[in-house]
C-alpha cells in the first residue's frame, strides 16, 4: 500500500502494522463487512414479503391456503435455522438445474440421479460452466440470501399474523358498519396499524437476523468469518508478514463489530417505536403523546 512497505522484514512497530493492515487480503477482509450489509439489504425486503404473504395465507378463508401458511410457519420454527441454510441452497440449485434440464435437453435419456451423482446436461448447468468466477459466487450468495429469507419470513409471518389479530375488534366492526368490503377493511384499517403491533416482534427478529449472518460462512460465502480465519491463522516465516495464531484477535474484532451493530440497532428501534406508536391508545402511545407536555 505505502511506499515503505517494499521490504516488510525491515520494519517494526507502527510502520509494520500500517503495512500489515493494508495488504490486499486485509482490504478484502474490510470489503467482506459489506457482504454482511448486502445480505441484510437483500433479505430484509424478502423477509417482509414472505412474512406478509405467510400472514395473509394464515388469515385466508380458503382452507388449502391457510393450511399452507400454517405448515410453512410451523415447520420452519420447529427445525434449527442452520439446517434450512444448508438444505435450501443445494435443494434450489438442484431443482433449478433439474427444470432447465427437462426444458433444454428433452431428448436426454440417462437418469439424472446415477447412484451418488447428480448429472444434468451441460446446457442446464446454472450458472453455465463457462461463466466467470464472480458470477458463481454471486449466484451462491443469492441462493443463501433466499434461504435466510425463507427461514426468517416464517418468523415474520408469525409476528405479522399476531399483529393483524391484535388490532382491536371494534375497529373492524366499525369498518363493517360503514359498509367497507373485506379488502377495504384490510387496506384501510388493518394494514396501516399492524406495523405498530408487529414492531416489537420484528425488531427482535432483526436482532436474531444480525446474529445469524456469520452462518453465511458455512454456505461457502467469503464473508468476515472466512477472512478472519484466513488472516488469523499462523503465518510461518515463508510469508511476507509472519505471525503466530492470531485468530482470537480477529474474532474479537468481529465480536466488537456485532456488539456495535446490535447496540446501534437497539437505539434505532427505540426511536422507531416512539414514532409508530404515536397517537395510539396504548401505554407507549400515551407516554409518547404526553412526553412533550409534562416533564415527568
* Residue 283 cell numbers, joined: 401505554
Shorter beta-carbon distance to another protein: residue 19 or 144: 144
Q: Which residue among 90, 99, 128, 176 contacts another protein (CB under 8 A)?
A: 90
User: What is the C-alpha to C-alpha distance for residues 120 and 103, in angstroms, rounded to an integer?
Assistant: 11
**In the window 259-278, what residues touch another protein (CB under 8 A)?**
259, 262-263
Q: Which residue among 53, 218, 272, 274 contacts another protein (CB under 8 A)?
A: 218
Shorter beta-carbon distance to another protein: residue 234 or 240: 234
Question: Does 87 sit near another protein (CB under 8 A)?
Answer: yes
Shorter beta-carbon distance to another protein: residue 1 or 252: 252
Cβ density class 25-42: b for 16+ within 10 Å, e for less: ebeebeebeebbeebbeb
Q: Which residue among 15, 16, 68, 258 contacts another protein (CB under 8 A)?
A: 258
Shorter beta-carbon distance to another protein: residue 4 or 263: 263
Q: Say which residues have a Cβ less than 8 Å from residue 189's Cβ, sequence separation at least 6.
A: 167, 171, 172, 175, 180
Give the nearest distance from C-beta 144 to another protein in angstroms. 14
Question: Does 111 sit near another protein (CB under 8 A)?
Answer: no
How far CA 175 is from CA of 180, 219, 293, in Å, comes to 6, 48, 33
Give the nearest distance from C-beta 35 to another protein in angstroms. 15
Extended strands (E) in the chain = 113-114, 117-118
User: What is the C-alpha to C-alpha distance for residues 112 and 213, in angstroms, rounded to an integer?
Assistant: 34
The answer to whether 294 and 283 are in contact (CB under 8 A) is: no
Question: Does 32 sit near another protein (CB under 8 A)?
Answer: no
Shorter beta-carbon distance to another protein: residue 11 or 218: 218
Question: Does 83 sit near another protein (CB under 8 A)?
Answer: yes
Question: Does 215 sit near another protein (CB under 8 A)?
Answer: yes
Phi, psi for 235 (deg, rounded to 5): -115, 120
Q: Say which residues have a Cβ less than 8 Å from residue 254's Cβ, sequence separation at least 6.
A: 214, 224, 225, 228
Give the nearest distance from C-beta 229 to another protein in angstroms. 8
Number of H helices, E strands in the chain: 11, 2
Give the nearest distance from C-beta 34 to another protein in angstroms. 18
Give the nearest distance from C-beta 217 to another protein in angstroms. 8
Residues that bind another protein (CB under 8 A): 75, 78-83, 86-87, 90-91, 94, 113, 116-118, 210-215, 217-218, 225, 228-229, 245, 247-248, 251-252, 254-255, 258-259, 262-263
Amino acid at each position: 500500500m505505502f511506499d515503505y512497505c517494499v521490504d516488510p522484514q525491515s520494519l517494526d512497530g507502527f510502520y509494520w502494522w500500517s503495512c500489515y493492515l493494508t495488504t490486499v487480503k486485509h482490504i478484502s477482509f474490510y470489503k467482506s463487512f459489506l457482504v454482511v450489509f448486502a445480505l441484510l439489504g437483500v433479505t430484509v425486503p424478502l423477509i417482509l414479503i414472505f412474512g406478509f404473504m405467510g400472514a395473509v395465507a394464515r388469515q385466508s378463508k380458503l382452507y388449502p391456503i391457510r393450511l399452507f401458511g400454517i405448515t410453512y410457519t410451523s415447520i420452519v420454527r420447529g427445525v434449527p435455522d442452520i439446517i434450512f441454510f444448508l438444505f435450501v441452497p443445494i435443494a434450489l440449485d438442484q431443482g433449478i438445474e433439474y427444470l432447465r434440464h427437462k426444458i433444454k435437453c428433452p431428448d436426454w435419456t440417462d437418469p439424472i440421479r446415477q447412484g451418488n451423482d447428480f448429472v444434468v446436461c451441460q446446457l442446464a448447468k446454472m450458472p453455465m460452466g463457462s461463466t466467470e468466477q464472480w458470477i458463481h459466487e454471486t449466484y451462491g450468495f443469492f441462493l443463501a440470501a433466499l434461504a435466510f429469507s425463507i427461514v426468517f419470513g416464517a418468523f415474520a409471518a408469525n409476528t405479522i399474523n399476531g399483529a393483524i389479530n391484535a388490532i382491536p375488534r371494534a375497529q373492524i366492526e366499525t369498518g363493517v358498519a360503514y359498509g367497507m368490503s373485506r379488502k377495504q377493511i384490510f387496506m384501510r384499517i388493518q394494514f396501516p396499524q399492524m406495523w405498530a403491533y408487529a414492531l416489537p416482534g420484528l425488531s427482535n427478529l432483526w436482532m436474531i437476523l444480525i446474529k445469524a449472518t456469520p452462518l453465511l460462512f458455512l454456505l461457502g460465502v467469503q464473508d468476515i468469518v472466512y477472512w478472519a480465519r484466513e488472516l488469523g491463522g499462523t503465518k510461518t516465516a515463508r510469508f511476507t508478514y509472519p505471525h503466530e495464531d492470531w485468530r482470537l484477535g480477529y474474532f474479537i474484532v468481529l465480536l466488537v463489530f456485532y456488539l456495535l451493530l446490535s447496540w446501534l440497532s437497539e437505539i434505532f428501534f427505540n426511536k422507531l417505536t416512539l414514532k409508530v406508536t404515536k397517537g395510539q391508545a396504548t401505554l407507549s402511545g400515551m407516554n409518547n403523546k404526553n412526553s412533550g407536555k409534562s416533564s415527568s
